[in-house]
């Protein structure tokens, strides 16, 4: 009988010191998670001793103490841990070590936490940073420079070399809306939403490019990254509104990725007994999403060489700005960003800085910048040393974007955000993993920063109506005022209309007019429409007004 049983036994395949994987079913569950959600094997752990006869041994395994199990396992419960020497960068199909928690690969905490106001964790930047040099400031460029850059950019656009990339994963919840943020009406006379304004700005640039090239009108591809919360509603909104005059073939939607949520011990949180809690992977997740969605390949197929990216909630964003593009092309920049000067030292915005002295350009969040650095002043200029605010308008060469995607696949770093997370047992205080869009900047050999006027190119719509900052009313006033200045510069006049009793109308919402984006992108080509004409404040100018 013994001989019969031994027929199928194999010689010992493990020796003392070998690393092995152990079947997960040999352990009592540490938590109420279905075995289907757990990896098939745990480890790898070291073999400490061989027990039993030579033909059918068991092994003493160095099991972590917290698992509280008998450390002897039969050979049938083990797998050898084999490294792949031919493809060392390729990940093993077997899950990583699980010594008491679900390990998450490459989480980078580049700052320390201390308790701040109301017990919230605050961060202080640990690395040495220095101010960024060589910003293309407003004073540092002439009218000839701007014209040269505009023509260079428009010719590139006419050749089909530019794509526009919109980050539109945010909901309008903070604005009191159940729709995606891009559908929000900020209160303009036309009642146009953010998506509508941006689409017509793209149409205007297409016309400008066609005029300078003398060829047919180019269609600028518009890649729109949505989230699971906004995707269906966004696509449907564009369809119902006829893509706001654009060709449907040039508007392409793709989804932002998600990552598992973890508790403070690093264990995966369950949203339901059978479902892992996941959260969007931050605006830096766009790099991976561009590849997995096929958008990067589609850009390459269309002959795109440059990608202009921005966030949906900036009501003044100059989409597909040819001046910005031309400057980047002339300087050979693989990456560029628009910046504005900080309004005051305590403004809650990230600032551009250099890592160390002469190192790569990074963005330091306002909560990470030491207060003494935030208030430091350059004695030569009288301005803040760390003065250049990140407004999330970034331009990439396609080659650099492809390189970043590859780097993020192999060496992605995650930031930790501690938040309340809904789970199967209610709500727990846990961790969401995020990537930031500016994490890519350290890989850019040359990053160009271009200063723009805050009142002309940045009006964030983040807070509900009536808020003292970043509200829809403030954004609306800025746009009307800017357009009013364009009308006056083109030879027009603005007057208040009259009420029925003959008194002049007034408004607490500000002054100015709304220009149709199809008429002008940045104040150009308005003389024929405006010169010698009078327009009422808070009216809409569409080429037939006045």
Return the domain boundaries, the chain.
2-80, 119-462, 474-541
What integer pLDDT is reported at residue 29 of this predicted model?
61
Tell me which residue of 465, 137, 105 sits closest to 327, measured CA to CA.
137
Residues in Cβ contact with 6 at an 8 Å cutoff, skipping those fewer than 6 apart: 55, 56
Residues 288, 119: Cα–Cα separation, whole Å: 34
What integer pLDDT is reported at residue 191 of this predicted model?
96
CB 149 within 8 A of CB 323: yes
What fold characterizes domain 119-462? Spore Coat Polysaccharide Biosynthesis Protein SpsA; Chain A (3.90.550)
Specify the DSSP element, H or E, that contains 144. helix 143-158
pLDDT at 32 over 60: no
C-alpha dihedral (368, 373, 375, 380), degrees to nearest 10: -140
Residues 30, 388: Cα–Cα separation, whole Å: 49
Tell me which residue of 219, 225, 230, 287 sits closest to 253, measured CA to CA.
225
With 0-12 / 13-18 / 19 or more C-beta atoms within 10 angstroms meaning exposed / middle / buried, residue 157 is buried
Q: Picking from 2-11, 60-69, 380-389, 470-479, which range would have the lowest pLDDT averaged per residue?
A: 2-11
Mean pLDDT, the chain, whole residue set: 85
Specify the DSSP element, H or E, that contains 165. strand 162-167
CA dist 29 → 22, 53, 315, 428 (Å): 14, 31, 52, 21
Band (pLDDT 50/70/90 cuts) for residue 62 is confident
Mean pLDDT of 330-346: 95
Cis status, amide bond into 359, omega within 30 of 0: no
Residues in Cβ contact with 215 at an 8 Å cutoff, skipping those fewer than 6 apart: 158
Report the DSSP pairing between strands 278-280 and 275-276.
Answer: unpaired
Backbone angles phi, psi at 427, to 5 degrees: -130, 135
CA dist 229 → 168, 171, 173 (Å): 10, 7, 11
Mean pLDDT of 79-108: 49
Residues in Cβ contact with 537 at an 8 Å cutoff, skipping those fewer than 6 apart: 484, 494, 495, 496, 497, 505, 507, 511, 512, 513
CB 305 within 8 A of CB 445: no
CB 318 within 8 A of CB 324: yes
Percent over 70 (pLDDT), the chain? 82
Tell me which residue of 196, 198, 202, 193 sits closest to 476, measured CA to CA.
193
488-545 pLDDT, tens digit per residue, is 999 999 998 665 555 545 555 568 999 999 999 999 999 999 999 999 988 898 854 4
CB 104 within 8 A of CB 266: yes
What integer pLDDT is reported at residue 89 of this predicted model?
45
The residue with tokens 């850009």 is 299
Q: 488: how many CB neighbours lie within 10 A of its CB?
A: 15
Residues 427, 447: Cα–Cα separation, whole Å: 42
Residues in Cβ contact with 325 at an 8 Å cutoff, skipping those fewer than 6 apart: 149, 152, 153, 156, 157, 162, 306, 308, 395
CA terminus-to-terminus distance, the chain: 106
Residues 520, 355: Cα–Cα separation, whole Å: 40
> What DSSP character marks residue 159?
T
Model's pTM, two decimal places? 0.76
Residues 418, 427: Cα–Cα separation, whole Å: 13
230-259 pLDDT, tens digit per residue, is 999 999 999 999 999 999 999 999 999 999
pLDDT at 175 over 60: yes
Strand, helix or coil at 269?
coil
CB 309 within 8 A of CB 441: no
pLDDT at 294 over 50: yes
442-457 pLDDT, tens digit per residue, is 899 889 999 999 999 9
CB 337 within 8 A of CB 451: no
Residues 517, 523: Cα–Cα separation, whole Å: 10
Mean pLDDT of 90-98: 43
pLDDT at 145 over 50: yes
| Token pair belonging to 235 | 């696509």
The DSSP bridge partners found for residue 421 are: 428
Specify the DSSP element, H or E, that contains 351. strand 351-355
What integer pLDDT is reported at residue 92 of this predicted model?
45
The residue with tokens 């752990």 is 45
């Amino acid at each position: 009988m013994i001989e019969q049983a031994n027929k199928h036994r194999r010689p010992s395949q493990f020796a003392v010191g070998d690393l092995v994987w152990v079947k997960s079913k040999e352990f009592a569950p540490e938590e109420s998670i279905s075995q289907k959600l757990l990896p098939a094997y745990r480890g790898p752990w070291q073999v400490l001793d061989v027990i039993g006869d030579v033909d059918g041994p068991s092994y003493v395994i160095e099991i972590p103490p917290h698992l509280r199990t008998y450390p002897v396992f039969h050979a049938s419960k083990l797998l050898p841990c084999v490294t792949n020497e031919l493809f060392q960068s390729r990940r093993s199909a077997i899950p990583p070590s699980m010594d008491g928690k679900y390990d998450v690969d490459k989480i980078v905490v580049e700052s320390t936490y201390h308790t701040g106001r109301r017990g919230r964790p605050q961060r202080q930047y640990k690395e040495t940073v220095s101010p960024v040099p060589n910003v293309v400031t407003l004073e540092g460029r002439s009218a000839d420079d701007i014209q040269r850059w505009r023509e260079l950019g428009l010719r590139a656009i006419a050749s089909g070399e530019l794509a526009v990339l919109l980050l539109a994963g945010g909901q309008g919840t903070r604005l009191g809306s159940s729709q995606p943020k891009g559908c929000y009406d900020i209160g303009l006379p036309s009642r146009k939403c953010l998506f509508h304004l941006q689409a017509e700005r793209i149409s205007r640039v297409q016309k400008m490019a066609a005029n300078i090239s003398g060829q047919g009108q180019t269609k600028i591809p518009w890649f729109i990254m949505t989230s699971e919360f906004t995707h269906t509603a966004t696509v449907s909104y564009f369809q119902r509104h006829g893509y706001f005059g654009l060709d449907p073939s040039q508007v392409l939607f793709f989804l932002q990725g998600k990552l598992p949520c973890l508790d403070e011990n690093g264990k995966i949180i369950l949203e339901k007994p059978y479902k892992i809690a996941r959260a969007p992977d931050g605006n830096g997740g766009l790099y991976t999403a561009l590849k997995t969605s096929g958008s990067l390949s589609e850009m390459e197929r269309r002959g795109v060489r440059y990608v202009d990216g921005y966030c949906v909630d900036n009501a003044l964003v100059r989409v597909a700005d040819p001046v910005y593009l031309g400057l980047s092309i002339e300087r050979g920049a693989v990456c560029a960003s628009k910046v504005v000067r900080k309004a005051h030292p305590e403004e809650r915005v990230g600032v551009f800085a250099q890592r160390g002295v002469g190192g790569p350009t990074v963005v330091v969040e306002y909560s990470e910048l030491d207060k003494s650095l935030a208030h430091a002043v350059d004695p030569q200029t009288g301005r803040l040393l760390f003065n250049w605010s990140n407004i999330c308008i970034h331009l990439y060469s396609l080659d650099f974007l492809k390189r970043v995607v590859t780097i993020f696949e192999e060496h992605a770093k995650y930031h930790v955000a501690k938040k309340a997370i809904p789970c199967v047992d209610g709500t727990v205080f846990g961790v969401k993993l995020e990537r930031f869009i500016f994490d890519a900047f350290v890989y850019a050999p040359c990053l160009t920063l271009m200063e723009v006027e805050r009142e002309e190119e940045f009006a964030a719509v983040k807070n509900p109506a009536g808020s003292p900052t970043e509200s829809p009313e403030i954004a609306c006033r800025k746009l009307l005022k800017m357009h009013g200045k364009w009308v006056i510069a083109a030879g027009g006049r603005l007057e208040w209309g009259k009420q029925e009793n003959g008194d002049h109308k007034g408004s607490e919402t500000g002054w100015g007019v709304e220009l149709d984006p199809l008429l002008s992108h940045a104040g150009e080509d308005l003389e024929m429409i405006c010169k010698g004409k009078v327009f009422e404040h808070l009216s809409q100018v569409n080429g037939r007004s006045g």
